[in-house]
Structures are given as structure tokens and as C-alpha cells.
Structure 1
Amino acid sequence: MRVQRLVAALLVALVAGCGPAVAATDDRVPPFRPAPPRPYAVGVRHFVVDPDGSRPLPVTVWYPAEPAAPAEPAIGPTAGPTGAEAASGPTGSGTTARPDVPVAAGRFPVVVYSHGLHSLPDLHAPLTTRWAAAGFVVAAPTYPRTNLRARDFTRADVRNQPADGWRLIRHLVRLDARPGDPLAGHLAVDRFAAAGHSAGGFTTAGMFTSGHSRRLRAGIVIAGGGLAGSFAGPVAPVLFVHGGADPIVPESVGRAAYVRSVGPAAFLGLPGQGHGEYLTPGRPGFAQVLAATTDFLRWTLYDDRRARDRLRADAVLPGVTTLTTRALPVGR
């Protein structure tokens, strides 16, 4: 019951208000390329944004590495999470990631991935590593006061996390231009998406406030909802993913955010499922969530219309998943 009480209080606090996101400065960037036809191997690195500041932000980055894989990525060893929210959220690791290997040639869109209460980026590896294999750089911050190991945990700090997400975006833009950094020249700094689970889904929604940079082109809200001021500014497509029997963040909260969002949107429902078991490889719905989110990212960040058109076919499995769309011209 502890998690339910935490999130119930979180919902009350978050709808009351949220500080505005700070937009990154838009710069002109080189022309972009089509979506990669095959998966990549995956590398991983770690750094800290503002290590000497008041809110140091450790970041885990998964990225495409050479060589490109000839087939589907291999499944790595399973490592179950601990902690209140992790107990009902994603488990295991996905594609095996190799530390600090060279980044694959080219520029890649970036996904900022936000964890939930009492969680960590590594607990979301089943999803994030597979996105990296599909051709995305995934940067996952460890939020200072809501992560699994936070000494001064407070759920109310979620309202400060959208600004942390924008701080990470600005850091990555600078990193791309920093001579000698392994990621320099490899980030498509005009093509960001934000995604997150549970409190990380609220954080994601909070990044889409009035005046946000057009760098942020898409959002994925998993088992989350909106913050006060969310879904304003430049129109960006948003994909919502939610279990129909979620005991922590009710599905009605996610559907209300879907209705509030502006522009193209989709709602991937998982009838009868809870707060995140569908993010575990091998569980019902995982294949559909992975395929739908990957299609969505390929469409919004690579301009891959074929991925957009197959999203419905990839997302829907009768008896397991449903898909509702608004102003989203997906295949029927």
C-alpha cells in the first residue's frame, strides 16, 4: 500500500502546479538521414551533469555501436529490481550493452528517459537498450530526490524534474559540439523525444510546457499523466501506454492526459494489466509495447512514414492490447 499512498499524494501535488521547463536554444544542424534498416550493437556510458551544482544529475546513456547486428538483438541476463515502485514496474536487462565502445557512424536522435519513484535507469534497460539498438541515443537521468537510493527522498520533487530533463538536453547539445567527446558529432540535436514510466511519465508530460523548444518533437508517457501546464507550446505527437487495471496510477489519469494533449496522439491500452509488468520481456504485451514505441520514435524522430503506417498492426494484439488514436494517420 505504500506505493499507492505515495502516488496518490504525488497526483495531488502535481496537478497543483509545476515550474516551467527551460527551453534549449535552437541551432541549425546538418541534414538528417533515413531510419537505419538493421539494429545496432549497443554501448553504454555514464557521466554527471553539473556535478558540483545543487542538483547533480547522474546520467546513463545507451547508444548505437558498431557493428550493426544482422538480426534481432540478443537478450541479456535478467536482474530483478528492488524498491517500492520497481516491484510492480519493469525488470531485467535488454540488449547486452558494452561499456564505452565507439559510437556507430552517423547522427542519431535522442530520447530522454525518466524513471519513476524509487527506481533507477538500469531497471528500464529492457526498453532503453532495445531503443538504442533501433538507432536512438537514450539518455536516462537519475533524479536526485526520487531515485531508489535517494537519501532525502521526496515525491514532491517530481515537479522539479522537467527542468532537469531540459538541463540534460542543453548538456547534450553542448556535448555534441565538444571536441574529443565520444558523442561529439553523433547527436541529432534537433531531434529529441522525452519518455518515462510512472512519475517519469508525469516528468515527461511536464517537459511539454508553453514555450518549450522545438527540439522536443515527441513524447511517450507510460503509466503516467499530465502536470499542470503540460501539453502546451509547439505541437508534438504523444503516445500514452497504460494498464487497464493499474492500481498505482489509474488508467483514467492517463486517458485524461490523452484527452488534454494537443496534436496527434495515441493511447495504447493493456486491459487487465497493472503498473508495468508489460515492460518485462516475455510478459503479455511487451512485444506490442516495444514495437509500438519503436515505430512511434522512428516516425517522429526519423520521419519514417512506414513505421507510422504499421503502428496499429504492430501495437494491437486482440485480448492483450488496444489502440486509440487522434489525428494520427496510422494504418488500419
Structure 2
Amino acid sequence: MARVLRRSFLTLFAAAGLSACAAEKPPAPVAPQHTRELAFNRGGGRPLPTKVWLPTGSGPHPLIYFSHGLTSQPDDYAELLAAWADAGFVVAGPKYPHTWYKATEYIADDVVNQPADAQFVITELLAALGGLVDPGRIAAAGHSAGAITTVGLFSGARDDRLKAGLVIAGRQMPQPSPFAGPAAPLLFVQGKTDETVTYEEAYGAYNQVPWPKGFLEIPKAGHLPHRDEPAVVAATTTDFWRWALNGDQAAGRRLPQDATSGDSAALTSTF
């Protein structure tokens, strides 16, 4: 089964151009944040150095675990991740051993192993950060191959600790497992002109979600919707986290307004 999945990933990533999920333009400057660097290692040649963006206050805070795209790294998403930290969330993202941009041995189809990496890092974060993190309020997010990793955490490699998820320019695996486990609201963010992960692929994954779900469609965005419409994506995703992890009903009611700000996006949801 693993061999079939790896072959499928090679076809998906190489042929579809997903071998370069990294930024197509430099990220916007981000104000200095309170961050930490943690050196995790799952063994078997899988070092997972992890950067953590910390909010102010003593906590406990919700934790958002973030997975980067191929040939990328967490800092490439710093503007968005810092916005979440500013809103009161601990945000953490590792550099995956074979898919970050300086990987010694780059292997695109190693994405099949990343959900297990994610589960390991979440466990290590809970131990390392102690009372800063609320173990009852954990979410997962990701972009592109990192979004596929995130989908895996809610399906074939289900992590029952996760209470919500965010999928940016993501889809299911070529041989998908059904979404499973406890209900968790999921928000998809998708550029309509994305040629790497197509709108149809993303919406197909969205249609398979049996839980409360939302689909933020950005008509003029491509594979980097968080760069093409940063304000809309930051506002909508931040209020999604406030609603899903903090039970903030006012934030939930703001989601349609956040999404349609500036007439650049539209939200379909069952929230």
C-alpha cells in the first residue's frame, strides 16, 4: 500500500507541478515576534526542527500546528502565522525532513510520512511548552502539500486530539481515506485560478467532509491565496480559530463579513 501511495504522489507532485509549493514572490515584512526554536527528532533520519510563535500572556492558549508546502518552510508563512499568534494562539510549524527547501535529500512523495511526523511534533510540543498550551484546544493547518498532510490528520492518520482544521490550497491523497473520528470543523481556502491544486480537486475534498465545514473561494487568487488576499485570509481564518477553538460565537457570526470584505472572496459554509 505504501509503495502505491508513493508512486501516486510522484505522479501528483511531479506531473502537476506541486514539486514547488514554495512562495512565488517574497513574503511581506513581518514585525518581530516572540518565537522559539525547538529541536525535535522522530528518529530514523527524521529531524523536525520546529519554530513556535508565542502570543502574549501566560496561557494556556490553543495550539495551531502548521505544515508547510514542498520546497518551503514555516517562515515563508510568517505573516499569516504571526497574525494568529497576535490573536492569542500558539502557532508551531516544523521543517519536514525531505520536503523543506534545504532538505539534504528532497523526496516529494515523503509527504505520506508527514502526518506521523505531525502527530509526533504535537506530542513533543505539549511536553515542551507545558502550561502555555491547552491540550483540549489543538488544531492543524497547512498549505499545498502541507494541506494534504493536514487532510491526512483528519482521515487515514486521524489524530483525535485535533478540534479543527484549515486546508489552504489542498486536496485529498490520490487514494483517499474517508474523513474519520470525532467531528471537527474544517475550513478550506482556495484560489480559483490555482493550477497546482485545482479548484475542482479542493472542492472535491471539501464535499467529502461530513462535519461542519466552510469553503473560502478567492476568484482572482492562485496557489498562494494567503499572499494574493492576505487581509481576507488572515481575518477569516483568525475568526474561524476563535470560533472553533475558543467557542467565540461573535467571531463565528463575523465569518461571512470577513470573507466578503472588499468583494474579493466568497464563503460557503455549514458552520
In 1, the alpha carbon distance for the partners of 2:18 and 2:237 equals 26
Shift of 1:293: 0.2
The aligned residue for residue 105 of structure 1 is: 58
The aligned residue for residue 8 of structure 1 is: 16
Q: CA 1:303–1:289 in 2, change beyond 3 Å: closer, same or farther?
A: same
In 2, the alpha carbon distance for the partners of 1:59 and 1:7 equals 30
In 2, the alpha carbon distance for the partners of 1:169 and 1:239 equals 20
Contact 1:45–1:62 (Cα < 8 Å) also in 2: yes
The aligned residue for residue 287 of structure 1 is: 231
Shift of 1:172: 1.7
Amino acid at match of 2:246: Y
TM-score (norm: length of structure 2) = 0.85
Amino acid at match of 1:271: P
Name the SS of the counterpart of 2:131 in structure 1: coil
Contact 1:206–1:230 (Cα < 8 Å) also in 2: no
The structure with more helix, counted as a fraction of residues:
2
In 2, the alpha carbon distance for the partners of 1:211 and 1:287 equals 32
- Is 2:142 aligned against 1:191? no
- Please identify the structure whose Cα radius of gyration is greater: 1
- Is 2:234 aligned against 1:243? no
Q: CA 1:138–1:230 in 2, change beyond 3 Å: closer, same or farther?
A: farther
- Is 2:134 aligned against 1:143? no
In 2, the alpha carbon distance for the partners of 1:238 and 1:198 equals 15
In 2, the alpha carbon distance for the partners of 1:10 and 1:260 equals 22
Give unmatched runs, 5+ long, in structure 1: 12-40, 66-103, 176-182
Identity among equivalent positions (%) equals 43
Shift of 1:318: 5.8
Structure 1's consecutive aligned runs of 4 or more residues displaced over 6 angstroms after TM superposition are: none
Amino acid at match of 2:86: A
Amino acid at match of 2:233: V
Q: CA 1:46–1:53 in 2, change beyond 3 Å: closer, same or farther?
A: farther
The aligned residue for residue 53 of structure 2 is: 62
The aligned residue for residue 34 of structure 1 is: none
CA deviation digits over 1:160-202, x for unaligned, max 9? 1011111111112222xxxxxxx32111011110001110100
CA deviation digits over 1:85-126, x for unaligned, max 9? xxxxxxxxxxxxxxxxxxx21210000100001001111101
Give unmatched runs, 5+ long, in structure 2: 1-11, 20-31
Matching residue within 101, 105, 109 for 1:152: 105
The aligned residue for residue 82 of structure 2 is: 129
Q: CA 1:325–1:136 in 2, change beyond 3 Å: closer, same or farther?
A: same
Shift of 1:289: 0.7
Contact 2:13–2:108 (Cα < 8 Å) also in 1: no
In 2, the alpha carbon distance for the partners of 1:109 and 1:248 equals 31
Contact 1:62–1:132 (Cα < 8 Å) also in 2: yes
CA deviation digits over 1:264-316, x for unaligned, max 9? 0000001032110x323xx5x22111111001101111111111111111111
Aligned residues: 246
Amino acid at match of 2:121: L
In 2, the alpha carbon distance for the partners of 1:45 and 1:168 equals 14
Q: CA 1:51–1:239 in 2, change beyond 3 Å: closer, same or farther?
A: closer
Contact 1:243–1:269 (Cα < 8 Å) also in 2: yes
Name the SS of the counterpart of 1:310 in structure 2: helix
Contact 1:111–1:137 (Cα < 8 Å) also in 2: yes
Q: CA 1:274–1:7 in 2, change beyond 3 Å: closer, same or farther?
A: farther
Shift of 1:212: 3.4
In 2, the alpha carbon distance for the partners of 1:107 and 1:287 equals 27
The aligned residue for residue 313 of structure 1 is: 257
In 2, the alpha carbon distance for the partners of 1:9 and 1:125 equals 24
In 1, the alpha carbon distance for the partners of 2:134 and 2:178 equals 25
The aligned residue for residue 222 of structure 2 is: 274
In 1, the alpha carbon distance for the partners of 2:233 and 2:42 equals 35
- Is 2:121 aligned against 1:168? yes
Root mean square deviation, CA, Å: 2.0
In 1, the alpha carbon distance for the partners of 2:15 and 2:104 equals 19
The aligned residue for residue 216 of structure 1 is: 162
Amino acid at match of 1:294: T
Contact 1:211–1:233 (Cα < 8 Å) also in 2: no
